[in-house]
A and B are shown apart, each in its own frame.
Chain A
Amino acid sequence: MLRPSTSLPRRGQGPLWRNPTVRALIVQAVLFLILAIIIGYLVHNTLNNLEARGIQTGFGFLEGRAGFSIPQSLIDYTSDSSYGTTFVVGLLNTLLVSALGIVAATLIGFAVGIARLSTNWLLARLATIYVEIFRNIPLLVQILFWYYAVLRALPSPRESLSLFDLFFFNVRGVVMPDPQPLAGFSATLWALLIAVVATLLFARFAKRRQAATGQALPVYWIGAAVVIGLPLIVFLASGAPLAWTLPELRGFNFRGGINILPELVALWLALSIYTAAFIAEIVRSGILSVSHGQTEAARSLSLPGAITLRKIVIPQAMRVIVPQMTSQYLNLIKNSSLATAIGYPDLVAVFAGTTLNQTGQAIEIIAMTMAVYLVISLTVSFLMNLYNARTLLKER
């Protein structure tokens, strides 16, 4: 006969530390206390040390005169500008090299990733070798190699290597023609804007038409023709209002033209080649992740190869590729801080380097620098989560 056991304690009757809710509270309180003590201790030490060394705290130093020059700046900057301006200059230089790197790394990465899946044995092997070499060598070594072993080994400006007498490669970087827009050039830009808007509207119209009638329009070809053709026609019709200042050798250096710093070129090359090796692997694994059944189903519907690729494989592969690709882009942006090793004036080299050395405001400057990267990372992660939610496999 079953009798209710009276010896087992009911919930809430046992010792207090056996109660999960109470225990969770205790654990968290202890953790909070430990963290508070550690942080309090560190803050206490820091304040003492700052006082002992006579360092002022606060962001007032940003108003001070910088007094050093920066070899590359996208905004107006002289040595009379403030420390705050050095922050902006460095940030813009970081963004510049990151944007250039992202474009190049994506192009190279996709090419290499697709080449790895090629049926051509040699091409596939070559792509594999590329990936295995470049992703297993530290980025810093690659940056130093491109800078010191390749670009520093170029001839002096007087003996520059030239390409069509328009581009010159020498130890001081690359010199190229500088486009100077004349009056009336804005018409071309307006034409470009109109062409893009028109193409987008046309694409929407074509999509609706296809949904209604089943007939597809050649959107890509017409769109490409409009976007390239219209600005070109306007440009020529308005009398080609664009002057090029060509680089010219005067004495020991070049006059005119845009001079691209060798540091920028080296950093750009290294960042794109290194990141491309990772992107190639992502592209390859993304394409391989599309299950074989999908391509077989497409074939049994007798869809041609190109359409299978465009409508079946790529959209599904993108779901795998895009999130990993974004994290590679973030890595590239963070890795661009290695610029400081060769003296490219990026955020870390200028602001966390020279400005920090001059002002000694270590805490404020490091915090601002880290905050920049954190904001970029968190923004991109947030956008990525939105994208993931949108492209999530729609299941019942």
Chain B
Amino acid sequence: MRESTFRTQMIEAREAPDQRRGLSGWLRANLFNGPLNSVVSVAVIGLLAWILWPFLKWAVVDANFLGSTREDCTGSGACWVFISARFESIIYGFYPAAERWRVDIVFALMAALVAWLAIPRLPRKRLVGLFTLVGFPIIAWFLLLGGHFGLPEVPTRAWGGLMLTLTVATVGIVGSLPLGVILALGRRSKMPFVKSVCVIFIEFWRGVPLITVLFMASVMLPLFVPGNVEFDKLLRALIGIMFFWSAYMAEVVRGGLQAIGKGQNEAGQALGLGYWQRMGLIILPQALKLVIPGIVNTFIALFKDTSLVLIIGLFDLLAIIRAGLTDSNWLGFSTEGYVFAALVFWIFCFSMSRYSQYIERRLNTSYRR
């Protein structure tokens, strides 16, 4: 016979919950709340001690920071003199020393614009945004390249270092966003030819690696223009990067467009608004706001991939450091060089990703458990 479904005896009382507070209570709750967790915690602490301390010792405690030649490195740790001795060229590349104030102005202007756009409290976002997309590139172009208004011309051959990295990233961002929006709209168009052109364009660029795009830009683009036209190397790379990332941007924007209900568009139609009015005044402002995190993530990916221009022979931040490593006076500092490059890129990307998370939290009004 089967046993009764009901218990006839009381279950034993559970232990009262741990009431300890403070450090020991926290440790018990978070690190040592079971045999397995205790083992894991000890292992992690061991791992950290094994990696972190030697690294800090190498990077900070035993390291040398200032000097001008490798003889200034007397400690057993990292030789940051390698970086500090060529700091100027890491920032400006081969930009003539007398003209570097122009780069500084562009840097400062860019920092101010980005800060204005990033801080939610500041007003007139639309105006500043428009200026960043249109006015700023023109000003930066005239300042950096020169050749007008009495400024001596600095050919793009001389551009390099962090300045070139930021130039490539900015042009990529400023160019790919509007192009991506148009492609996304085209992909959702009801006109079959427009739609298929956009789909083919987007899927093509998304299907190939950026490296082949850069190769194409450097070996194939010169074939596309009349033989006597000089085609700037940097410009070729920029065109490739812009097309490539506009496809990714288009997919991000499309995600936002799909999230906007059909009723919004229909309401616009009922009011008698035309296509561009509906898109510009109703759909896009909502859709773009929704996908700001996705757009920032694409910016991060774009920024990281600017380092690829070194493969076609442009001297960005990474390439300048790499060039320094082949200097016969400074052989054997590749760890310092690459760690520094990694740190610079990391600072930029990490701040952007933090910002995107912050925006996501701000826009997220859903119920949280």
Interface of A with B (CB < 8 Å)?
Answer: 24, 27-28, 31-32, 35, 42, 45-46, 48-50, 52, 118-123, 126, 132-133, 136-142, 144-145, 148-149, 152-153, 292, 334-335, 337-338, 340-341, 348, 352, 356, 362-363, 366, 369-370, 373-374, 377-378
Contact = CB atoms under 8 A, between A and B. Distances in A.
Interface stretch (B131-139, B153-161, B211-219, B287-295): B211-219
A370 B335 CA distance: 34
Contact of B307 (A126, A141, A356): A141
B346 A136 contact: yes
A142 B227 CA distance: 39
B37 interface: yes
Contact of A362 (B30, B219, B346): B219
A123 to B, nearest CB: 6
B48 interface: yes
B338 A145 contact: yes
A121 to B, nearest CB: 4
B206 A377 contact: yes
A377 B247 CA distance: 14
Given A334-B209, A348-B211, A119 B33 contact: yes
B322 interface: yes
B349 A136 contact: yes
Nearest to B333: A149
Contacts of A363: 220, 223
A27 B209 contact: no
Contacts of B363: none
Contacts of A152: 334
Nearest to B218: A362
B190 interface: yes
B332 to A, nearest CB: 9
A154 to B, nearest CB: 13
Contacts of A369: 212, 215
B93 to A, nearest CB: 18
B239 interface: no
A123 B345 contact: no
Given A340-B211, A378-B203, A145 B48 contact: no
A283 to B, nearest CB: 17
Contacts of B48: 126
A368 to B, nearest CB: 10
A123 B37 CA distance: 9
A180 B270 CA distance: 77
A144 B349 contact: no
Nearest to B36: A120
B23 interface: no
A42 B220 CA distance: 11
A362 B45 CA distance: 54
B106 to A, nearest CB: 23
Contacts of B190: 24
Contacts of A144: 318, 322, 334, 338
Contact of A348 (B212, B225, B339): B212
B185 interface: no
B170 interface: no
B111 interface: no
A356 B312 CA distance: 14
Given A28-B194, A137-B345, A141-B342, 17 more contacts: A27-B194, A28-B191, A31-B197, A123-B44, A126-B44, A136-B349, A138-B307, A138-B345, A145-B339, A149-B338, A153-B335, A292-B369, A334-B209, A337-B211, A338-B308, A341-B311, A377-B208
B140 to A, nearest CB: 23
A123 B38 CA distance: 11
B211 A148 contact: no
A374 B37 contact: no
Contacts of A356: 215, 219
B338 to A, nearest CB: 4
A120 B41 contact: yes
Interface string B221-239: 0111111000000000000
Contacts of B209: 334-335, 337, 348, 373
A122 B44 contact: yes
B237 to A, nearest CB: 15
Contacts of B207: 370, 373-374, 377-378
Nearest to A121: B30
B54 to A, nearest CB: 14
Contacts of A122: 30-31, 40-41, 44-45
Contacts of A138: 304-305, 307, 318, 342, 345
7 contacts: A35-B197, A45-B223, A132-B350, A137-B345, A139-B304, A142-B342, A366-B219
B352 to A, nearest CB: 9
B325 A148 contact: yes
Contacts of B212: 337, 348, 352, 366, 369-370, 373
B264 to A, nearest CB: 20
A369 B208 CA distance: 9
A121 B225 CA distance: 59
B142 interface: no
Nearest to B325: A148
A382 B345 CA distance: 35
B193 interface: yes
User: Which of A24, A123, A370 lies at the interface centre, i.e. has the most chain B CB atoms within 10 A of its CB?
Assistant: A370
Contacts of A153: 334-335
A232 B216 CA distance: 52
Given A35-B197, A136-B350, A50 B223 contact: yes
A109 to B, nearest CB: 18
A343 B67 CA distance: 34
A140 B307 contact: yes
A337 B30 CA distance: 43
User: Which of B45, B204, B334 lies at the interface centre, i.e. has the most chain A CB atoms within 10 A of its CB?
Assistant: B334
Contact of A340 (B194, B311, B346): B311
Ranked 6 nearest A-B pairs via Cβ: A377-B207, A121-B30, A136-B349, A334-B209, A138-B304, A149-B335
Nearest to B349: A136
A121 B191 contact: no
A142 B48 CA distance: 21
B300 interface: yes
A121 B216 CA distance: 48
B286 interface: no
B40 A137 contact: no
Nearest to B225: A45
Nearest to B338: A145
Interface in B317-341: 318, 322, 325, 334-335, 338-339, 341
A46 B197 contact: no
User: Which of A133, A137, A362, A369 lies at the interface centre, i.e. has the most chain B CB atoms within 10 A of its CB?
Assistant: A137
A52 to B, nearest CB: 6
